Structure 1
Amino acid sequence: MYNIDFTEPHWLINSYHAVGLFSLVFNLLAIYLLFFEINDLGTFRYNLLIFQMASLLTDLSITTLSTIVPLYPLNAVTTFGILSTWFGVSSHFCFVFSGGCSHLENVTLLLCFFKKHQAIATIIDVHVVPKFLGFACYLLVLVLASIPLVGLSLLSVSRDEQLIYINMTSPEYYSSFASLEQFAVWRESWALLGVYIIALCEMSTLAGLLVFFNLDLVRMMVKLRSKVSNLNFQKHREAIQSLFIQTLVSLICSTSPCILGFSVMTKMENAQIISELCLLGFACHSPVNVISLLIFSPPYRRFLEKLFRRGNRQLIVHPHSQSGVNQ
Structure 2
Amino acid sequence: MMRMLRGWGALLWLAAALPVAAAVQAPECIAPARPGGGFDVSCQLAREALAPWLAAPLRVVYMPGGIGAVAYNTIVAQRPADGNVIVAFSGGSLLNLAQGKFGKYSVNDVRWLAGVGADYGMIAVRADSPYRTLPALVAALKANPARVVFGAGGTVGSQDWIKTALIARQAGVAHQQMRYVAFEGGGETATALLGGHIQAASGDVSEMMPLLQAKKIRLLAVMSATRLPGALADIPTAREQGFDIVWPIIRGFYVGPRVSPADYARWELAFRQSMATPRFARLRDSHYLFPFSLSGAEMDSYVKRQVDEYRKIATEFGLAYHML
Structure with the larger strand share: 2
TM-score normalized with structure 1 length: 0.24
Q: Which has the higher helix share?
A: 1
TM-score by length of 2: 0.24
* Rg larger in structure: 1
